[in-house]
Amino acid sequence: MKTIIKYVLIDLLKNRTILIYTLVLAVLTISVTGMSDNMSKGMLSLLNITLLFVPIISILFATIYFFNSAEFTELLLAQPIRRKSMLLASYTGIATALGLAYLAGVGVTVCILYNSLAAIALVVGGVLLTLIFSALALLIFVVFKDKTRGIGAAIITALFFTLLFDGLLLAFIYSFSDYPIDEPLLAFISLNPVDLARILVLLQLDAAVMMGYSGALFKKFMGSATGSIYTAVCMLCWMVIPLILAVRVFRKKDI
């Protein structure tokens, strides 16, 4: 398993797409931090960049990589290697490469310039989003046999969580505004890892005007510390559950 992780990681760290992804994140981070003297505004701008780029790039790149490595996967399955170990090793390699790219592009600069809990929360949220959407990419790979359909599913998944979900959330709030929906809304928000990452950072910024309805709701019912722990645990579940499903499907899949 360690050998597979090492091979995938070395292969990806040489990949031009990973290098360009890291460079783009670094340029955007340096530009934003250089233009903004206010820490809260700078963090919010970096948060928006993270929520926009990380899910889409992670799931698309990981999905394409998994499908392009299908022949390598078949070759590994011919060896005395457990399917579970092979699949999780491939996931670990690509998730680590994408996570390192985010840390190099955003994490280092943010932690140096904004030495605060909000900066740490931003880096943790970005890394967790990378792990989550890489796991979703793995699930898409084992479910779909056709590469074109798999990439289409990856695009739809990314757009749903980054754009469409908030529209559904607003429709839910509007439709049931006459009822006490605060607690059910907490569960509804937990169904979107992108919103959870946003709340994780906003709870540390402690800026009531910028928190929005969902952030204020989390702080009202849980407080900053408990709310941060809850969002982090939910995001970990978003990573683990797709991995478990992917392993179960892959065990029964006819390659």
Residue 128's pLDDT is what? Answer: 95
CB neighbours of residue 71 within 10 Å: 8
Burial 193-219 (b: 16+ CB within 10 A, else e): bbbbbbbbbbbbbeeeeebeebbebbb
Instruction: Of 236, 237, 213, 217, give the one whose Cα is nearest residue 227.
Output: 217
Domain ranges of the chain: 2-162+239-252
Give me the DSSP letters along 4-15: HHHHHHHHHHT-
- Mean pLDDT, each 10-residue run in order, the chain (255 residues): 79 87 91 75 85 94 90 75 85 93 90 81 93 96 90 94 85 76 78 89 65 61 71 92 92 71
Residue 209's pLDDT is what? Answer: 45
Q: To the nearest whole percent, how much of the chain has pLDDT over 70? A: 89
Which residue is listed with tokens 């999905």?
A: 63
Residue 217's pLDDT is what? Answer: 66
The H or E element that residue 250 is part of is helix 208-252
49 near 28, Cβ under 8 Å? yes
